[in-house]
Chain A
Amino acid sequence: MTFRFKGKPPSRRQFLAGAAASTAGAISAGAARGEGDPLITEPQYWAQGFGDPVDEAPYGLPIEFESDVIRRNVDWLTADTISSVNFTPIHALDGTITPQGCAFERHHSGAIELSKPDYRLMINGLVDTPLVFSYNDLERFPRENHVYFCECAANSGMEWAGAQLNGAQFTHGMIHNMEYTGVPLKTLLQEAGLDAAGDLSDKWVYVEGADASSNGRSIPMEKALEDCLVAFKANGEALRKEHGYPVRLVVPGWEGNMWVKWLRRVKVTDGPVESREETSKYTDTMADGTSRKWTWVMDAKSVVTSPSPQSPITHGKGPLVISGLAWSGRGAITRVDVTKDGGKTWQTARLAKPGEKRALTRFYLDTEWDGEEMLLQSRAMDDTGYVQPTKDQLREVRGLNSVYHNNGIQTWLINSDGKAENVEVS
């Protein structure tokens, strides 16, 4: 006879409690006993009955044991969740590809519902023929696949004045890394014709979204033609609503605000529009009160994702995998160094794969923990020769009021219990 479990199976915690009780002598009915781990010596329900049939979840979510691996926001950061941000749980992920379902969100007027039949993309301005594309039109152009990170310029922005938030998710989680499928923006611009624009070296494109914020940004033509992608798939499937379904712009290596979601218009212009998002926001104020503008590229950066405050060491001394992420908007990561003593001595970490241009790189330091306190840091280098600076080095140039583009070295204090805290060191 076969049977299926109905309803929720016992949780792991209940199960371990039961196992402990049985070790103490309360032998469960019908179970074989032997020396050793009851999870091994006793038949388990998952080894006797059936699991879920197919179609139990036509589109699956992670198993319940992973229910804490979710996006989280920081209430006090913004006035309202309609115009706000949340954070990727990078402390709990591995590899480099970010699942869409937990990839950070940033909306300026909420995530809108825009269907493919209702979608239109206009190319106008200094083009030979202003054009309108439907979603289906976009799928008929030759398309490309590329993996790129998308980092909000404000990632780590709360840490400018000092250590604030206890968790890699909160200090570094305004980032995700996906494989995009889409059409090069260059292809669409050429379809509309750029003869009317004349000399392209001083031209720009202005890109805007279909949501109420429009979130318009000006991008130099050089970048528009180099590698910008009009993307409609991420990690093999349609973009999620919160990431701009059905079409978003991908601006590799440049700040996430420029990756306009629900992309509805690309206008060729002879100058920047200087929209709200490129003047009042996403500009970097220096100590003397003047501000940098057009700070588009995301410089090389890294963070140890584990151990970290949300991912403490629970196994005591012995073999320890220190792991983290590194990336550069200017190129590929070539090397990541890790220190356990706050920067006195560094070791070069192992890259899981050679760094890829403008994409996340996973690094590991396979080490032994002696159970003593550690001050963990990582330091990224990219193929331009750039070395990730300390926070103090950045502050020396920029002061404390920059908000954006904080790519300084992060420190985790790991205490002898394996717990971690966000600290700064001299």
Chain B
Amino acid sequence: MSKSRNRVLSAALIASCFAGPALAESFGLGRPATPDEIAAWDLDVSPDGTGLPEGEGDVWTGEELFEQHCAVCHGDFAEGVDNWPKLAGGFNTLDRQDPVKTVGSYWPYLSTAWDYINRSMPFGNAQTLTADEVYAMVAYILYSNGLVDDDFVLSRDNFLDVEMPNADGFFVDDRPETEYGIFTGEPCMENCKENVEITMHARILDVTPDEGGE
């Protein structure tokens, strides 16, 4: 995991944020958080595995849990129902029109799946799963994507061994280098084009919601 940002921050700027009397000022407001309070809320998991609890779960346990808690939206095989997110498949579609972005085809870090399921799923019943159950569900999603075998057991110990296919598919925002130079300067005001043709009409698609008889 990259802890540095591409754009190097100016040390002077950071220093200036802390210059002046505000630095020393304390208002004495709030109270110290207790260790139990921090443990209850400090659940986020980072790409290097920081934040993962002890535990493990296997693919078949995960399948049962997935059918019970997830399949109504995500489908029995994590293929997605209606507009709900597909979690499996979509490999080799990212450079095509309408790419299919799943945990397998798109997500760069496995920690993201563990973290999100642990804190925000099942939809409408969040934070009810045990750590072992989350490991099992993540194992099943990996299996649905063909990334592990059916006897796979996911745990904190082997978590970082799982290779995510699109791990190298991301780069830090490069608009300053690739766009800002092109999209800067005195714009044209007169005789900017010889002809203007309408190339597309929204009414052809007609997907605008009805406004209730206006």
Contact = CB atoms under 8 A, between A and B. Distances in A.
Interface of A: 68, 72-76, 78-80, 82-83, 108-109, 122-125, 129-134, 137, 140-141, 161-167, 170, 186-187, 190-192, 194, 200-202, 206, 208, 212-214, 216, 220-222, 225-226, 264-265, 267, 269-276, 279-280, 283, 285, 287-297, 299, 309-310, 337, 341-348, 375, 379, 381, 384-389, 393, 397, 400-401, 413, 421-426
Contacts of B11: 201
Interface string B187-203: 11111111111111111
A346 B187 contact: yes
A197 B178 CA distance: 33
Contact of A271 (B3, B30, B127): B3
Contacts of A162: 200, 205
B25 interface: yes
Contacts, number: 291
Interface size class of chain B, counting residues whose CB lies under 8 Å from the partner chain? 35 or more
Interface in B96-134: 96-99, 101, 103, 106-109, 111-112, 115-116, 119-120, 123-124, 126-127
Interface string B4-16: 1100110101100
Contacts of B4: 202
Interface stretch (B32-40, B59-67, B140-148, B153-161): B32-40
10 contacts: A109-B123, A109-B126, A124-B33, A129-B32, A200-B18, A276-B116, A292-B175, A310-B214, A397-B182, A426-B193
Contacts of A124: 33, 38, 41-42
Nearest to B119: A214
Given A130-B38, A162-B200, A212-B120, A345 B191 contact: yes
Contacts of A163: 200-202, 205
Contact of A264 (B13, B41, B108, B191): B41
Contacts of A134: 30
A167 B208 contact: yes
B193 to A, nearest CB: 5
B73 interface: yes
B209 A212 contact: no
Nearest to A76: B207
Contacts of A187: 22
A401 B99 contact: yes
Which of B116, B193, B195, B202 has its CB near the most chain A CB atoms (within 10 A)? B202
Given A79-B83, A385-B184, A401 B98 contact: yes
Contacts of A265: 41-42
A75 B209 CA distance: 8
A287 B95 contact: yes
